[in-house]
Amino acid sequence: MVAIICEFNPFHNGHQYIIETAKRLTNEPVLAVMSGSFCQRGEVAVCSKFERAAAALRHGADIVAELPAVHAVSCAQRFAQAGVHIAKAFESTGCLAFGCEDDDLTALQAAADAFQNEAVNRKIAFLMKSGAYYPQAAEQAVREVCGDAAADMLTQPNTVLAVEYLRALRGSSVKPLPIRRVGAAHHSRESCGSFLSASAIRERLRRGEDVSAFMPEPPSEITFPPLLERAVLYRLRTMTAAQLRALPEVGEGLENRLAAAVKTSRSVEEIIAAVKTKRYTHARLRRILCCALLDITESLQAQRADHVRVLGFSQAGAALLKTCRLPVVTSVAKAMRTDSLTAEFLRRDILATDTAALAYQAVKPCGTDYHTKLIRSYSPAEPAVK
């Protein structure tokens, strides 16, 4: 089986291309480890995780497992580690495929190996003490110690994640399979044939434009992040400095600056503008505020999931579920009856989905995680599993 760590936010032609290419190169079924109701940039997903999972299954994926919300809104390093942890939980996983701007595996591996270099790590620590934020410090340190070729791998969003995947795979039998991105660049607003970046698709969807040329199936309903603004402000206004300090990626007194900004700000952007520095970038602050909204603490995010929650599978995927070394959760209600780490993780997934329900123009009810049936996707030639 070949694994793909993804967001599918939303599922578009580029994602279908990666799945098809991974299958063609490996002749193996595909496991998609997919973010749920919120994504790594600290924003609500553009549509339901169940709708995105169903689209992926109808267009090539064989299992869709949810990347827990606890890790879906984490920094690139933790995001990659959490995704790889779930991918490796399946004995049948032989490859991890990922899209990136540069598919030169030798150069990517050199960039990943650079973080094993003590000189690089010392330089990163020095630069961060001087006020640089981690991605900037990492790129500069690798450039100075290891040269431009390795450092250039850290300048593109998908390549940064590719490097983190390689770091997370270290010592594993799972082989990396980089797939060069085709069509539009990561944040490009312009299309290239039938390809358009996910960010541009989200923008066009929210403007009410037709994006059917760039997606195998446009979502039925979409979210609007500004609709969560007051929920975020309410949550922040009810938190103490100690609670803010317990959030992931908060340190060096940021909790005090946040607490002060919350008292005088009338919007999320005002809060971010008040506390933003070189070290605390817009994206990092977005994740911090998202963690506040979803009650995700540093202590919880630092833990690995002890389960795999499956959103759906194909006929081929059904057999592969038996190769998972971790408990497979197909019923949230049953898993929530236990007092365990699994329940703590699932509680955040449920909260994330119920919170995302507020971001639709017509507010959705709570409980979608309890009421949505497991997605079973079969081709016409495949018999359904009873």
Q: What is the pLDDT of residues 260-312, one digit of tens each?
A: 999 999 999 999 999 987 778 888 999 999 999 999 999 999 999 999 999 99
Q: Confidence band (pLDDT; 50, 70, 90) for 46?
A: very high
pLDDT band at 380 (very low <50, low <70, confident <90, very high): very low
> Parallel, antiparallel, or unpaired for β 63-67 and 308-314?
antiparallel
- Residue with tokens 């290891």, as numbered in its chain: 146
User: CA geometry: angle at 183 spanning 179 and 186, to 5°?
Assistant: 75
Rg for the chain, CA atoms, rounded: 20
- Outline where the chain has alpha helix (H): 13-26, 49-58, 69-72, 76-88, 105-114, 118-129, 134-146, 148-152, 157-169, 198-206, 229-237, 241-245, 254-264, 268-275, 282-293, 298-301, 315-320, 332-335, 341-356, 368-371
Q: Would the pLDDT of 358 be above 70? A: yes
Residue 149 pLDDT greater than 90, yes or no: no
**Amino acid occupying residue 2:** V
Lowest mean pLDDT among 30-34, 115-119, 129-133: 129-133
The strand pair at 308-314 and 30-35 is best described as unpaired
Q: Are 292 and 244 in contact, with CB atoms under 8 Å apart?
A: yes
Q: 97 versus 181: which is more confidently predicted? A: 97
Distance in angstroms (rounded) separating the CA atoms of residues 204 and 201: 5
Token pair in block for residue 288: 């911090």
Question: 157 pLDDT exceeds 80?
Answer: no
Angstrom distance (rounded) from CA 59 to CA 102: 25
Cα 143 to chain centroid, rounded: 27
| Residue 379: band (very low, low, confident or very high) from pLDDT cuts 50, 70, 90 | low
Q: Please, how many CA atoms are within 13 Å of residue 15, restricted to the half-sphere of its CB? A: 29
Instruction: Write the CB contacts of 224 (distance below 8 Å, at least 6 apart in sequence).
Output: 206, 359, 360, 361
Q: How far apart are CA 118 and CA 269, in angstroms?
A: 38
Tokens of residue 228, six digits: 């969560």
Which has the higher per-residue pLDDT, 190 or 126?
126
Supply the pLDDT for residue 102.
84
How many CA atoms does the CB half-sphere of 33 hold within 13 Å? 30
Quote the pTM value.
0.93
- What's the rounded mean pLDDT across residues 148-167? 87
List the one residue out of 63, 60, 59, 34 whose CA is nearest residue 47: 34
CA distances in angstroms from 275 to 130, 266, 293, 334, 350, listed in the order given: 17, 14, 18, 42, 30
Round to whole Å and give the CA distance between 293 and 287.
10
What is the per-residue pLDDT for 381?
41
Helix (H, G, I), strand (E, B) or coil at 146: helix
Q: Kindly report whether the peptide bond that precedes residue 176 is cis, defined as omega within 30 degrees of 0.
A: no
Q: What is the mean pLDDT of the chain?
A: 92
Q: What is the pLDDT of residue 158?
A: 75
Q: What is the mean pLDDT of residues 363-374?
A: 96
188, pLDDT greater than 70: no
